[in-house]
Structure 1
Amino acid sequence: MLRMTHREVKWMLHQSLWKKKDTEVVVSVVPTQIRGNSFTIRHSDMRTLRPHQWLTGEIIECLFHIHAHKCELGTRIYILNHYSAGVILFGKREEVMKHTLSKIHFDSYGAIVSFVHVDGVHWTFLYINAEESTVYLADPARNSAEQAESDNAANKFSDYFKMRRTCCSKTDWVDIKWKRGVMKHPVQQDGNSCGVVVCMMAKEVMEVFPKTPTMAFGTTKKEMAHQRKVLAMEILTASVFDKEVNCAMCAGIKPPGSMPHHTHTDWIQCDSCFRWCHTQCLHMDQKSLEVGDWVCSLCDK
């Protein structure tokens, strides 16, 4: 497998992450803690890591999995999908019942980490420590209601685990008497860095788990700009994407919808970055293939 060198990663950051307009070219494929699953990170997703941009949930959740892997916590901390976390905290019962996660055995884990979307404009960090029977909902912004919100989150998850027992006979974590917790943490100093701060919170929690961290990272604009580059580097270096065998548009070896018995696939290679793409993913016909030199949208000036 050909993985990017440190020099190639730095080139990606300088040339395509910060300067190029959004494209849908795949720049990283990062495995999750669930074997066989991965995050496909596209150039447009990565560009949300630029200064003063609002991070997407895909980027934040991908970074959670990277941190868990680095800390060797894949079997100790469960990373709850942020959409499911939001439904559990804010959804109606009939919506929550669609997120029972019946295949997950929470008794196998010591904690849950996640994050939630608040009012469509803000991210908050969710941490559930089963060993302490404590639920934390930490707001990157200065928020006097953080205690009350953590208390509400503890009640919501207590109801959630009881609902799992009713719906799918899952008894894990049902008997825990959940209580709220409050962690002292830095606060964001601008309107765009909540996602970055959430990633930093998760990283600090994982590095000292099962202890409660003492968070002391900086949140000035300069520090956040630097941290965005660090996070981008982590996503690129964690990638298992092989540009020699994977399509830069769908990340697969075979085009989407291909039948197993189909052995022929048309490819085209970028003459600049040397990524390969399925012609089907580019909607290219035979006439388009006769143009001679060709560059992908990421390299097209």
Structure 2
Amino acid sequence: MARKLTPRKRVLQALRVCVPQLGVNSLRRFEHGWDNHVYELNHSLVAKLSKSSVGGFKLLKEACLLPHLRAELGEIIPRELAKCVVNIEGEECVLLVYEAIPGWVSTERGIRLTTSTHEVCHMLAQLMEKIHSISPPNECSEMVPVHDTPRKWAEALRSEVFRLIDMAGSTLPSRLRNTILERVVEYAKRLQSLGFTPKLIHGDIDPRNLLVDDTGRLVGLIDWGEAAVGDPAIDYAGLFYVEEHIGKHVLEIQREEYPQYLSPRVGFHRDLAPLYWVAYGASSGNHNLTEAGLRLLRESFPS
């Protein structure tokens, strides 16, 4: 039986097929990338190759959205250079190549160094409001899920939680799993009364996807594969994992919704987020990520 290609060789093969005119002088793997193999290409580009059909769909969605988002949000959105579907070892994969945004993942460099916390929070609040005011382009309508009623959003939420629980498997203790499911059902029943207002969302705001420059100024927002029309609370919740006090302050100063409606929804999504760590940690064998997620889930969902 032939040995499977390594991720690096799969990416190289995809590049040769899709963008043969692009010479490969250097290729460095990024550590993050749950649904895709992600590499820095020639010190100035990013190449992403899907690991599965789900990852491929997300990359096609991202490729469709990037030009429109860049027109609306400016240079914090990467410029797409190439995308294609390629067959590798009998599997249909999607390759996306875009220009890298010079900067640091905000876990490597604090999101504020010389920039004041107050200034950072106002910048993030304005960015959230701008994202949530954008309408998805018509050409991407078949790729961007639309959960525009409390019932549709609740169904999408339940489906996602079941998917993550299935990925986590036996790593997630049964009592904790049941407590999470009970909380999801309870939250879905309350959603109508919590002022749910559907808008375009990034869907994966976290430190890995926010890029900063040497002064701590935000210069990039990447990885739009989870974009959807849904609850903007999920984007605000992600800011708590950048820095908790930043998440709190942005929530206080945002002008999208009354805090008494938005805050409970943000709190729910903030508490649920570590389920992703457990699921993807379990599926990738990252024990530290799994344990960190379990610790936070036990704090948020006590039995």
> Shorter-chain-normalised TM-score: which range?
under 0.3
Q: Under a length normalisation based on structure 2, what TM-score does the superposition of the two structures give?
A: 0.27
Larger radius of gyration: 1
Richer in helix (by share): 2
Q: Which has the higher contact order (CA 8 A, sep 6+)?
A: 1
Q: Under a length normalisation based on structure 1, what TM-score does the superposition of the two structures give?
A: 0.27
